[in-house]
């Protein structure tokens, strides 16, 4: 058990980093997924191949990019191309993992980053899909990182920007999306969640340290499935935090 | 081909491929010295109501000096390919935009674009049509290919599709649903590059974003370049030419033309100045004050650089060699 203090952002980064396997490709946006990739590269996944939307393939994440097209996204990369090449590579099935966030998520992992309220006259106009819809459509497995509360985990998102399992089993295939793709995990400050293999509904797999199952359910605005055995996610280790604080995000841009 | 579904979004710039061919035929293929100032380039080639696009985006290799000139000249009713950061935030906050094909307009680590929020939530931007990032680049690719649409697997099953101007058809080869994106032909494209000769042959270092596609999808193209090089240097390494001269209408020499954004291998982004815009963008009044300070009270790009300060700019340069 770690006795070192950590904040919610550090918790999210460490949890997400552990999920990144070695020797594969991951489509990375900015923010927490980026730090998670950098941490993973320094820990158990030195051969993780980060893929950045605007053209960087296989960068070595010595300095943390804060923009998806900046120089650090192709620093010591194996290739620097453009957005068509990168997303076509995803469309051809080369990209195993993709990272996503959103303002709202529903039980099937559908995400909203477009509008809160009515599309025609929105209460809040959000930035838009960006690369999210492409990542959610083409990557084999997506990992969603979000804060966990009832405003975000909703029965029905105001707008489906990015496809999760759409309306349930077979939804993606019916729409024409590539078979066997879809959300894999949701990482939050309260929990780690997956999706039921048949019903495709979000399922609680593990709670974050100090969090109860009841708290997770209370902060979820839809009926949450519960795994038969709900694990307790181990807290960030001293070593993970050291690497995060001393190497990955020295300037504390995020943590 | 059976149409299964259609997005309800307006097709802001319908693809007239044959008209595009005729246009391309009449564009000069002569090697002409196209060097001019931002003022002349924008005055001659950007008009009210034009459909414009910028590349790459606000904090990265972005035609900021051209964008400031568009605001300075009071262009309005623009239709916009909406993939960007602070350059689009500025165009929106300056009330220049009427319609937008949007994929992302936001300030990245600094959050949402208040320009976008104010203009869309008030209805001053009359038309918003949503797309994914790759979809906009692929729409340019279709135009670059000289065909009216391109089939892709993004957008399917979502509200993004429903509010786009795309269609879903039954693929005649596989029988499965597939999304068709209409080609996007720009009236004016604006691209900032590392190097160009006086005719417009241009080279870009690092990632190319969607420069190749968008350049070929533009009826008129304004290039700003950090450095103007000799024609011979282009001819010595012709594989480095990402934009050939015959696509280009104007070449603007703009050192630090991407400021406050970065230019890979040359200078880093200016966080202090980016934050100044982020703050100013929060309200209508402070945004206008920013425009007065950096655009309306400043006659041209050189005066803007003088205002920022030579030493300040030099501190942004990369000193150690990178390659």
User: Nearest CA of chain B to the CA of A36: how many Å?
Assistant: 16
User: Nearest CA of chain A to the CA of B69: how many Å?
Assistant: 24
Q: Which structure tokens are listed for B134?
A: 């790759």
Phi, psi for B53 (deg, rounded to 5): -145, 150
Q: State residue A102's pLDDT score.
A: 85
Residue B321 reports pLDDT greater than 60: no
Residue B320 reports pLDDT greater than 80: no
- Please report which confidence band the pLDDT of residue B128 belongs to, taking 50, 70 and 90 as the band edges: very high
Angle between helices B271-280 and B284-291 (to 10 degrees): 130
The SS3 assignment for A84 reads helix
Q: State residue B323's pLDDT score.
A: 46
- Within 8 A of A126 by CB-CB distance, chain B residues are 106, 112
pLDDT digits (tens, 9 = 90+) for A67-118: 889 999 999 999 999 999 999 999 999 999 999 988 999 999 999 999 999 9
Cα Dmax for chain A: 51
- Please report which confidence band the pLDDT of residue A121 belongs to, taking 50, 70 and 90 as the band edges: confident
Q: State residue B31's pLDDT score.
A: 98
Residue A2 reports pLDDT greater than 70: no
- Within 8 A of B60 by CB-CB distance, chain A residues are 54, 67, 69-70
pLDDT, mean of residues B287-315: 98
Q: State residue A61's pLDDT score.
A: 87
- Please report which confidence band the pLDDT of residue B132 belongs to, taking 50, 70 and 90 as the band edges: very high
Q: Are strands A111-112 and B78-84 parallel, antiparallel or unpaired?
A: unpaired
Nearest CB partner across the interface for B157, out of A66, A84, A166: A166
What residue has token string 């990739």?
A37
pLDDT digits (tens, 9 = 90+) for B158-172: 999 999 999 999 999
User: Nearest CA of chain B to the CA of A39: how many Å?
Assistant: 19
Question: Are A130 and B123 an interchain contact pair (Cβ–Cβ within 8 Å)?
Answer: no
DSSP E strands, chain B: 3-6, 51-55, 78-84, 97-105, 127-130, 149-152, 167-170, 177-182, 186-196, 202-203, 218-228, 250-253
Query: Helices in chain A by DSSP H: which ranges?
Result: 8-19, 32-42, 83-91, 132-138, 171-175, 213-218, 238-243
Decide if A53 is catalytic.
yes
Question: Are B155 and A81 an interchain contact pair (Cβ–Cβ within 8 Å)?
Answer: no
pTM tops 0.90, yes or no? yes
pLDDT digits (tens, 9 = 90+) for A207-237: 999 999 999 999 999 999 999 999 999 999 9
- Within 8 A of B57 by CB-CB distance, chain A residues are 69
pLDDT, mean of residues B3-26: 97
- Please report which confidence band the pLDDT of residue B319 belongs to, taking 50, 70 and 90 as the band edges: confident
pLDDT, mean of residues B36-46: 98
How far apart, in whole angstroms, are the C-alpha atoms of residue A190 and residue B294? Answer: 45
Q: Which of A3, A10, A53, A155 is catalytic?
A: A53
Q: Which structure tokens are listed for B183?
A: 């080609």
Question: Are B156 and A67 an interchain contact pair (Cβ–Cβ within 8 Å)?
Answer: no
Residue A169 reports pLDDT greater than 90: yes
- Within 8 A of B168 by CB-CB distance, chain A residues are 176
- Please report which confidence band the pLDDT of residue A3 belongs to, taking 50, 70 and 90 as the band edges: low
User: Nearest CA of chain B to the CA of A183: how many Å?
Assistant: 15
Q: State residue A252's pLDDT score.
A: 83
Residue B322 reports pLDDT greater than 60: no
Nearest residue of A to residue B159 by CA position? A160
Nearest CB partner across the interface for A131, out of B109, B133, B208: B133
pLDDT, mean of residues A17-39: 89
ipTM of the complex: 0.95
């Amino acid at each position: 058990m770690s006795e070192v203090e950590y904040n919610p952002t550090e918790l999210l980064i460490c949890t997400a980093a552990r999920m990144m396997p070695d020797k594969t490709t991951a489509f990375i946006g900015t923010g927490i997924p980026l730090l998670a990739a950098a941490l993973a590269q320094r820990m158990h996944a030195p051969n993780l191949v980060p893929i950045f939307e605007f053209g960087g393939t296989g960068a070595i994440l010595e300095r943390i990019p804060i923009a998806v097209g900046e120089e650090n996204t192709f620093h010591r990369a194996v290739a620097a191309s453009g957005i068509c090449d990168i997303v076509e590579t995803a469309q051809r099935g080369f990209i195993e993992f993709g990272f996503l966030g959103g303002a709202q998520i529903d039980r099937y992992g559908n995400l909203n980053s477009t509008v809160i309220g009515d599309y025609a006259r929105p209460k809040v106009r959000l930035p838009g899909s960006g690369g999210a819809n492409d990542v959610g459509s083409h990557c084999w497995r997506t990992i969603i990182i979000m804060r966990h509360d009832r405003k975000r985990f909703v029965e029905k998102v105001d707008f489906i920007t990015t496809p999760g399992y759409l309306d349930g089993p077979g939804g993606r295939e019916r729409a024409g999306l590539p078979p066997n793709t879809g959300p894999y995990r949701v990482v939050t400050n309260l929990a780690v969640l997956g999706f039921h293999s048949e019903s495709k509904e979000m399922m609680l797999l593990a709670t974050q340290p100090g969090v109860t199952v009841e708290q997770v359910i209370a902060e979820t605005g839809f009926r949450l499935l519960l795994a038969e055995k709900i694990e307790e996610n181990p807290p960030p280790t001293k070593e993970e935090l050291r690497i995060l604080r001393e190497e990955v995000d020295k300037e504390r841009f995020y943590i | 081909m059976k149409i299964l579904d259609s997005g309800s979004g307006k097709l802001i710039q319908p693809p007239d491929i044959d008209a595009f061919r005729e246009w391309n035929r009449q564009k000069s293929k002569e090697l002409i010295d196209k060097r001019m100032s931002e003022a002349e380039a924008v005055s001659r080639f950007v008009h009210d109501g034009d459909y414009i696009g910028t590349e790459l985006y606000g904090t990265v290799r972005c035609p900021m000096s051209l964008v400031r000139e568009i605001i300075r000249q009071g262009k309005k009713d623009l239709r916009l390919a909406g993939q960007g950061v602070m350059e689009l935030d500025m165009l929106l906050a300056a009330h220049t935009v009427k319609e937008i094909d949007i994929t992302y307009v936001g300030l990245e680590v600094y959050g949402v674009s208040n320009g976008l929020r104010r203009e869309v939530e008030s209805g001053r931007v009359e038309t918003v049509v949503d797309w994914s990032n790759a979809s906009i680049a692929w729409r340019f690719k279709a135009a670059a290919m000289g065909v009216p649409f391109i089939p892709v697997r993004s957008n399917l099953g979502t509200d993004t599709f429903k509010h786009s101007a795309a269609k879903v058809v039954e693929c005649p080869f596989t029988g499965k649903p597939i999304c068709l994106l209409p080609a996007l032909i720009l009236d004016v494209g604006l691209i900032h590059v590392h190097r160009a000769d006086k005719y417009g042959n241009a080279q870009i270092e690092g990632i190319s974003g969607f420069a190749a596609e968008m350049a070929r999808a533009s009826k008129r193209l304004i290039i700003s370049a950090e450095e103007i090089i000799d024609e011979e240097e282009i001819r010595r390494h012709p594989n480095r030419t990402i934009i050939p001269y015959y696509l280009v209408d104007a070449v603007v020499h703009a050192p630090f033309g991407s400021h406050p954004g970065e230019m890979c291998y040359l200078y880093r982004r200016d966080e202090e100045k980016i934050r100044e815009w982020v703050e100013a963008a929060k309200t209508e009044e402070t945004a206008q004050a920013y425009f007065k300070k950096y655009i309306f009270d400043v006659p041209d790009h050189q005066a803007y650089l003088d205002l920022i300060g030579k030493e300040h700019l030099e501190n942004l340069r990369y000193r150690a060699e990178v390659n």
